[in-house]
């Protein structure tokens, strides 16, 4: 069975004042039907850019795909027309964003905003769309959906707005849901509810989910496979358990160990956190033929500065792009 | 609480309350009050770290601002070294302000964009001390070294620094007057995970070197577990549980604390968490119209009749553990 | 998305000072640069014109109503036979002086009221904003006419009359900026550092609130020039000083026969105000961080 979404050797360039830089550099990955894959990395590593590339929403005039393909059900989205992309967006691939406060239009009721999508893509009439909107609000567990369908966004809490966003995203039963840091702005107890909801709905609608996050804990709880990005490149990918328990790339290892995780059984010991020194390189350095992590890596040697490591596949599709895989862990 | 706290704590907060006037019922309607912080008490020993944790709307940040007199307290005492900080004025206040300093959340808005880095650090020295120019410059040089910034970076403007570096400048500013207490208001929550680890390690190193005490405001329980000696959990303006690090994390008593802990996704408790997860549903009550009984009753899985009628007081469980819940023996 | 933007910003923001960067931005805006050049020419003409092309603008030098070009008078003569070019040059001096002085007064009043209202809030804000609204709903031309009529038609009074009726927009903008900035963490940080209220207003908040106020002030210069033209058209200025509005006003009866006498000073006003508003728009784009990096 061929995967639902297959990205091959994707390169996205962004034009800056000093020329263009590859914000996504030779990225390949595939997403199967019904699967949840997580993209992990720090800010500015190209996670969100990948999502925008899939949706054909790269910043106009600045970003463009220069190589590779994004195949959705066999159709190459990098070559699709604008009209075709509009058909796909919100219908077959939809997205929810980080900020539930600003991603809803304040002057329309939530019911109208859900109905809007349905009428656009599903040719429903007003009454059908409205009753479907109520069903969807019920599905995302907003209590008393019938009573709240005419509420405006400001009448809802942050968590409820994010549920409405999910309802809008799922209105047309998309094949793929891209969630870009969907819970970063929410409290942990609300985050837990939203995650549970996404898991259940993913199962119910058989939607594949791409979860973009910086939180390893969220990855561990939500995803089956993960992909770690650094400076526009895939540095490690594989099944979540395997990657978290035995990371092959020093960056992945650093990301896991630099966070103070809640321990199941707490002791008096508190060793300093493992640090990743420095910061993500600037765009000007993207695209160089070297390991871009070398400047922050404890294992780096001359080879890392001279040649870019390519992903090396291992067991269960667990791959890592590092010259010193055997020294990690 | 523990014996370290029994002899004169550095900071002793008693019955602190903050309320905000809220306009209700249109223009001519009477004023209602939102009790953002409602009668809380806690102590912090010299050289230790006390965390106030809670979700948005819990009043944790308001409590911290009230301790530092940046928000006016409606009632209560804040004793620093035995003197009531809230009652001081003029010169006494100026001296005392130098003893309590803040580190803020957002490294992008907490530095005045029009000031050079050294002027930012200088600000408290100018307002709170009578040191000579040479002394001030010496302190600035020494602080830049202490937080890991280079001397030539003193001349740069905030936008020329990365988020982590900006937070280091904020820390240097907080240290300028040699304070005894530093209030960290979500000091690392806006940073990328790798940078967060650097800052947390820096804070702990500075604490050891200078014998600082931290009042640590955070929603991130992983960070709190790593950083703090004592923890106060707040919900809707009240402290619901107050305990030392080990007893809080190893045997949380309040149902809200339990829910909070189980909601945190973590790589370390994979598998366990989903089975034990205690979802809390429902919404918190209207903070202006609080219910008669326990504020958590509307969302609590254990709520009984007594919870809806009588507000639970903070009861002593052991000398290191207090909890405000009718259902805890 | 936002994440990438921050990174991009760090990449691109090499110039060290925010105002330097604004200038780079301003320079790349063609219409704003055009406006600036025109404005500089007008200022140059006002300052050096009367020196280079000497004479008393009130002297009757040639037959009235001679069209432009005749007998060496580049712009012709007016209904009393006065040299129109000389009058325009002297008028430029007056118009720009009044424009700048009135705009300055406007900004001083507006910033003071707006800053106090936005910083102290509460009853201070209530009182000051009611006063602002009172001035805003007054018919401005009528009110300034009353002032000039009461206190006499001299340049300082005219300037005062213009300034005193046009500050409300500046006060409103200043207040809005203060309300926004006072909540930012660096202001809280300054308060935690014991910075006094006056310093908070003047040294911490105001410099950061300036960009939109500067834009408004630039546009104020233009509207003050128009305002002065209106007043002097009605004869409410110092009769011993030439200004563009006054030329139009005194020659208005002859608009049908010798339209150039009215058209030329009219064009001067139009071009100057247009140039100022182009510069104002350019400043707005350059100083507004949201439009940057597009």
Average pLDDT, chain A: 88
Residues of A in contact with C15 (CB under 8 A): none
Residues of A in contact with B250 (CB under 8 A): 265-266
pLDDT of residue B275: 43
Tell me the whole-structure pTM to 2 decimals. 0.83
Q: What is the largest CA-CA distance in chain A?
A: 67
pLDDT in tens, A133-157: 999 998 888 888 888 899 998 888 8
Q: At residue C3, does pLDDT exceed 50? A: no
Angstrom distance (rounded) from CA B69 to CA C7 = 36
ipTM reported for the complex, 2 dp: 0.85
Cβ separation of C11 and A14 shorter than 8 Å? no
Indicate the residue of C10, C13, C189 with minimum beta-carbon distance to B110.
Answer: C189
Residues of B in contact with C199 (CB under 8 A): 127
Nearest to B155 by CA among B134, B139, B169: B169
Backbone φ and ψ of B306, nearest 5°: -60, -30
If you average pLDDT over residues A47-73, what whole number do you get? 89
Cβ separation of A48 and C7 shorter than 8 Å? no
Whole-angstrom CA distances from B119 to B136, B153, B299, C202, C243 are 11, 12, 48, 16, 48
Angstrom distance (rounded) from CA C213 to CA C16 = 22
Cβ separation of B263 and A244 shorter than 8 Å? no
Residues of B in contact with A266 (CB under 8 A): 225, 245-246, 249-250
Radius of gyration of chain A (CA): 21
| Contact between residue A256 and residue A249 where contact means Cβ atoms under 8 Å apart | no
Which chains are within 8 Å of A by 3+ CB pairs?
B, C
Nearest to A37 by CA among A178, A161, A243, A134: A178
Angstrom distance (rounded) from CA C257 to CA C263 = 12
Average pLDDT, chain B: 87
Task: Kindly state the helix (H) or strand (E) to which residue C130 belongs, with its residue range.
Answer: helix C122-137
Four-residue CA torsion sign, A156, A161, A167, A168: positive
Angstrom distance (rounded) from CA C55 to CA A152 = 70
Shortest distance, CA A130 to any CA of chain B (angstroms)? 25
**Alpha carbons within 13 A on the beta-carbon side of A191:** 28
- Give the mutation candidate from B107, B267, B278, B301 for the A interface (greatest A CB count, under 10 A): B267
Judged by a CB distance cut-off of 8 A, whether residue C1 touches chain A is yes
Angstrom distance (rounded) from CA B34 to CA B57 = 11
Shortest distance, CA B274 to any CA of chain C (angstroms)? 31
Nearest residue on chain A to B274, judged by CA atoms? A221
DSSP of A126-174: HHHHHHHHHHHHHHTT-SSHHHHTT--GGGS-HHHHHHHHHHHHHTT--
Residues of A in contact with B271 (CB under 8 A): none
If you average pLDDT over residues A220-229, what whole number do you get? 92
Query: C60-95: string of b/e by CB count within 10 Å (b at 16+)?
Result: ebbeebbeeeeeebebbbbeebbbbbbbbbbbbbbb
Query: CA dihedral in degrees (C93, C96, C102, C106; nearest 10)?
Result: -160
Angstrom distance (rounded) from CA A193 to CA B170 = 35
Question: Both tokens of residue A196?
Answer: 């549970």
Return the residue matching tokens 């970076």.
Answer: B153
**Residue C12 banded pLDDT, cuts 50, 70, 90:** very low
Q: How is residue B303 annotated by DSSP?
A: -
Angstrom distance (rounded) from CA B114 to CA B188 = 23
- Give the mutation candidate from B64, B69, B127 for the C interface (greatest C CB count, under 10 A): B127
pLDDT of residue A248: 92
Nearest to B58 by CA among B314, B234, B256: B234
- Give the mutation candidate from C186, C199, C208 for the B interface (greatest B CB count, under 10 A): C186
Cβ separation of C186 and B156 shorter than 8 Å? no
Domain boundaries defined on chain A:
100-171
- Give the mutation candidate from A18, A39, A44, A284 for the C interface (greatest C CB count, under 10 A): A44
Partners of B34 in the β-ladder: B20
Question: Both tokens of residue C60?
Answer: 């009757």
If you average pLDDT over residues A213-224, what whole number do you get? 90
Nearest residue on chain A to B227, judged by CA atoms? A270
Shortest distance, CA B277 to any CA of chain A (angstroms)? 9
Partners of A15 in the β-ladder: A20
Residues of A in contact with B168 (CB under 8 A): none
Angstrom distance (rounded) from CA C145 to CA C231 = 7
pLDDT in tens, A69-111: 999 999 999 999 989 998 898 889 999 887 777 788 888 899 9
Cβ separation of A282 and C4 shorter than 8 Å? no
Nearest to B92 by CA among B73, B75, B69: B69
Nearest residue on chain B to A271, judged by CA atoms? B226
Cβ separation of C188 and B106 shorter than 8 Å? no
Indicate the residue of C3, C6, C8 with minimum beta-carbon distance to A16.
Answer: C8
Indicate the residue of C4, C8, C12 with minimum beta-carbon distance to A48.
Answer: C4
Question: Both tokens of residue C178?
Answer: 């203060």
pLDDT of residue C8: 39
Going by their DSSP bridges, the two strands B75-80 and B11-23 should be labelled as antiparallel
- The terminus-to-terminus CA distance of chain B in angstroms comes to 19
pLDDT in tens, C263-293: 888 888 899 989 988 898 888 778 765 544 4
| Contact between residue B104 and residue B190 where contact means Cβ atoms under 8 Å apart | no
Q: At residue C37, does pLDDT exceed 90? A: yes
Residues of B in contact with C195 (CB under 8 A): 123, 127
Shortest distance, CA C14 to any CA of chain A (angstroms)? 11
Query: B140-179: string of b/e by CB count within 10 Å (b at 16+)?
Result: beebbebbebeeebbebbbbbbbbbbbbbbbbbbbbbbeb
Angstrom distance (rounded) from CA A222 to CA A133 = 26
Cβ separation of C192 and B70 shorter than 8 Å? yes
Angstrom distance (rounded) from CA B134 to CA B131 = 8
pLDDT in tens, C236-249: 888 788 888 888 88
* Chain centroid, CA A144 distance in Å: 31
3-state SS record for B210-267: HCCEEEEEECCHHHHHHHCCEEEEEECCEEEEEEEHHHHHHCCCCHHHHHHHHHCCCC
Angstrom distance (rounded) from CA B138 to CA B300 = 55
Indicate the residue of B192, B193, B266 with minimum beta-carbon distance to A262.
Answer: B266
Angstrom distance (rounded) from CA B303 to CA B296 = 8
pLDDT in tens, B84-130: 999 988 788 888 899 999 999 888 889 998 889 999 999 999 988 88
Q: At residue B27, does pLDDT exceed 60? A: no
Angle between helices A110-122 and A158-170 (to 10 degrees): 10
Judged by a CB distance cut-off of 8 A, whether residue C294 touches chain A is no
* 3-state secondary structure (DSSP) of residue C239: coil
**Chains A and C: how many Cβ contacts under 8 Å?**
31
Backbone φ and ψ of A26, nearest 5°: 55, 55
* 3-state secondary structure (DSSP) of residue C288: coil
Shortest distance, CA A176 to any CA of chain C (angstroms)? 19
Q: At residue C1, does pLDDT exceed 60? A: no
- Give the mutation candidate from B51, B53, B59, B194 for the A interface (greatest A CB count, under 10 A): B194
pLDDT of residue C239: 79
All domains of chain B, ordered by start, with CATH? 3-99+179-323 (3.40.50.300)
Question: Both tokens of residue B41?
Answer: 């008490």
Q: Which residue has the higher pLDDT, B206 or C247?
A: B206
Q: At residue B234, does pLDDT exceed 90? A: yes
- Give the mutation candidate from A183, A216, A259, A267 for the B interface (greatest B CB count, under 10 A): A259
pLDDT in tens, C42-66: 888 888 888 888 777 777 777 777 7
Give the fold, CATH level 3, of C40-287: MetI-like fold (1.10.3720)
Shortest distance, CA C29 to any CA of chain A (angstroms)? 16
| Contact between residue B120 and residue C204 where contact means Cβ atoms under 8 Å apart | no
Instruction: Determine which of A308-317, B102-111, B242-251, B266-275 has the lowest per-residue pLDDT on average.
Output: B266-275
pLDDT in tens, B29-42: 567 888 899 999 99
Cβ separation of A188 and B264 shorter than 8 Å? yes
- Each as own residue / partner, the long-range contacts of residues C156-159 (CB below 8 Å, 24 or more positions apart, any chain) are C158/C98, C158/C228, C158/C231, C158/C236, C158/C237, C158/C238, C159/C98, C159/C101, C159/C102, C159/C105
Four-residue CA torsion sign, C230, C233, C238, C244: positive
Residues of A in contact with C6 (CB under 8 A): 43-44
- The terminus-to-terminus CA distance of chain C in angstroms comes to 14
Whole-angstrom CA distances from C8 to A15, A43, A212, A277, B16 are 10, 11, 20, 21, 45
Strand arrangement of the beta sheet that strand A5-16 belongs to: A19-31, A5-16, A63-72, A75-76
Whole-angstrom CA distances from A121 to A86, A148, A162, A169, A177 are 10, 24, 21, 12, 16
Residues of B in contact with C189 (CB under 8 A): 102, 104, 110-111, 123, 170, 173
Cβ separation of C4 and A280 shorter than 8 Å? no
pLDDT in tens, A28-48: 999 999 899 999 988 888 888
Share of chain B above pLDDT 70, in %: 91
pLDDT of residue B25: 55
Angstrom distance (rounded) from CA A18 to CA B24 = 55
Angstrom distance (rounded) from CA B72 to CA B62 = 10
**C-alpha angle A47-A48-A51 in degrees, rounded to nearest 5:** 100
Shortest distance, CA C99 to any CA of chain A (angstroms)? 39
Q: At residue A319, does pLDDT exceed 60? A: yes
**Residue C228 banded pLDDT, cuts 50, 70, 90:** confident
Angstrom distance (rounded) from CA B321 to CA B238 = 16
Cβ separation of C192 and B159 shorter than 8 Å? no
Nearest residue on chain C to B179, judged by CA atoms? C193
**Chains B and C: how many Cβ contacts under 8 Å?**
70
Q: At residue B6, does pLDDT exceed 90? A: no
* 3-state secondary structure (DSSP) of residue A287: coil
């Amino acid at each position: 069975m061929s995967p639902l979404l297959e990205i091959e050797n994707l390169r996205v360039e962004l034009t800056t004042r000093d020329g263009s830089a590859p914000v996504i550099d030779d990225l390949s990955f595939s997403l199967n039907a019904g699967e949840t894959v997580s993209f992990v990395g720090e800010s500015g590593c190209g996670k969100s850019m990948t999502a925008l590339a899939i949706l054909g929403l790269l910043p106009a005039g600045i970003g463009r795909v220069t190589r590779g393909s994004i195949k959705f059900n066999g159709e190459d989205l990098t070559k699709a027309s604008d009209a075709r992309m509009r058909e796909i967006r919100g219908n077959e691939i939809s997205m929810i964003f980080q900020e539930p406060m600003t991603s809803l239009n304040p002057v329309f009721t939530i019911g109208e905003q859900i109905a809007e999508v349905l009428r656009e893509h599903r040719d429903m009439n007003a009454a059908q769309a409205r009753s479907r909107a109520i069903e969807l609000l019920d599905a995302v567990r907003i209590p008393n959906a019938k009573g709240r369908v005419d509420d405006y966004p400001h009448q809802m809490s942050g968590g409820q707005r994010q549920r409405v966003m999910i309802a809008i995203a799922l209105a047309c039963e998309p094949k793929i849901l891209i969630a870009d840091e969907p819970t970063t702005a929410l409290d942990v107890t609300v985050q837990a509810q939203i995650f549970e909801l996404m898991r259940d709905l993913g199962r119910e609608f058989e939607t594949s989910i791409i979860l973009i996050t910086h939180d390893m804990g969220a990855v561990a709880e939500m995803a089956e496979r993960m992909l770690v990005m650094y400076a526009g490149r895939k540095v490690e990918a594989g099944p979540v358990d395997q990657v978290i328990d035995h990371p092959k790339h020093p960056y992945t290892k650093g990301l896991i160990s630099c966070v103070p995780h809640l321990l199941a059984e707490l002791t008096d010991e508190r060793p300093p956190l493992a640090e990743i020194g420095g910061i993500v390189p600037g765009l000007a350095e993207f695209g160089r033929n070297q390991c871009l992590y070398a400047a922050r890596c404890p294992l780096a040697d001359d080879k890392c500065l001279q040649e870019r490591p390519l992903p090396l596949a291992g067991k269960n599709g667990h791959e890592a792009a590092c010259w010193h895989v055997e020294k990690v862990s | 609480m523990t014996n370290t706290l029994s002899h004169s704590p550095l900071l002793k907060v008693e019955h602190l309350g903050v309320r905000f006037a809220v306009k209700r019922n249109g223009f001519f309607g009477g004023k209602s009050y939102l009790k953002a912080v409602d009668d809380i008490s806690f102590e912090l020993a010299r050289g230790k770290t006390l965390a106030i944790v809670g979700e948005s709307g819990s009043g944790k940040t308001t409590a911290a601002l009230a301790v530092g007199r940046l928000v006016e307290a409606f009632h209560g005492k804040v004793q620093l070294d035995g003197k009531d900080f809230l009652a001081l004025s003029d010169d006494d206040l100026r001296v005392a302000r130098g003893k309590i300093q803040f580190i803020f959340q957002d490294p992008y808005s907490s530095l005045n964009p029009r000031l050079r880095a050294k002027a930012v650090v200088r600000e408290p020295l100018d307002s709170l001390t009578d040191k000579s120019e040479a002394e001030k410059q010496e302190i600035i040089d020494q602080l830049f070294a202490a937080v890991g910034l280079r001397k030539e970076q003193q001349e740069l403007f905030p936008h020329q620094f990365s988020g982590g570096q900006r937070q280091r400048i904020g820390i240097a500013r907080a240290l300028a007057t040699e304070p005894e207490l530093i209030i960290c208001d979500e000091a690392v929550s806006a940073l990328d995970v790798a940078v967060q680890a650097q800052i947390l390690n820096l804070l702990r190193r500075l604490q050891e070197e200078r014998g600082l005490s931290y009042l640590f405001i955070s929603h991130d329980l992983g960070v709190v577990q790593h950083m703090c000696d004592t923890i106060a959990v707040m919900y809707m303006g009240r402290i619901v549980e107050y305990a030392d690090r080990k007893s809080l994390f190893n045997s949380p008593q309040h149902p809200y604390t339990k829910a909070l802990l189980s909601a945190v996704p973590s790589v370390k408790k994979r598998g366990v968490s989903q089975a034990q997860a205690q979802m809390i549903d429902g919404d918190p009550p209207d903070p202006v119209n609080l219910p008669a009984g326990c504020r958590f009753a509307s969302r609590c899985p254990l709520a009984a009749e007594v919870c809806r009628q009588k507000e639970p007081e903070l009861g002593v469980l052991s000398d290191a553990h207090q909890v405000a819940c009718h259902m805890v023996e | 998305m936002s994440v990438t933007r921050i990174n991009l910003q760090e990449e691109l923001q090499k110039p060290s000072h925010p105002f330097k960067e604004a200038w780079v931005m301003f320079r790349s805006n063609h219409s704003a640069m055009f406006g600036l050049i025109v404005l500089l020419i007008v200022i140059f003409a006002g300052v050096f014109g009367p020196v280079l092309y000497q004479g008393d603008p009130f002297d009757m030098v040639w037959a009235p109503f001679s069209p432009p070009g005749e007998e060496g008078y580049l712009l012709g003569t007016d209904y009393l036979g006065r040299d129109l070019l000389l009058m325009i040059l002297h008028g430029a001096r007056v118009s720009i002086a009044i424009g700048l002085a009135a705009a300055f007064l406007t900004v001083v009043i507006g910033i003071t009221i707006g800053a106090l209202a936005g910083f102290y809030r509460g009853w201070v804000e209530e009182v000051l904003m009611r006063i602002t609204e009172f001035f805003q709903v007054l018919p401005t031309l009528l009110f300034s006419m009353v002032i000039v009529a009461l206190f006499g038609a001299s340049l300082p009074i005219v300037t005062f009359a213009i300034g005193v009726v046009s500050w409300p927009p500046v006060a409103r903008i200043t207040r809005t900026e203060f309300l926004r900035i006072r909540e930012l963490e660096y202001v809280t940080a300054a308060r935690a550092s014991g910075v006094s209220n006056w310093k908070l207003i003047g040294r911490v908040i105001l410099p950061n609130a300036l960009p939109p106020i500067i834009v408004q002030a630039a546009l104020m210069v233009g509207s003050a020039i128009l305002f002065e033209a209106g007043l002097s058209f009605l004869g409410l200025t110092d009769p011993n000083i030439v200004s563009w509005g006054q030329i139009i006003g005194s020659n208005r009866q002859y608009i049908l026969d010798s339209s150039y006498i009215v058209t030329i000073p009219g064009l001067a006003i139009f071009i100057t105000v247009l140039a100022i508003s182009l510069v104002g728009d350019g400043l707005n784009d350059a100083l507004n961080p949201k439009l940057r990096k597009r």
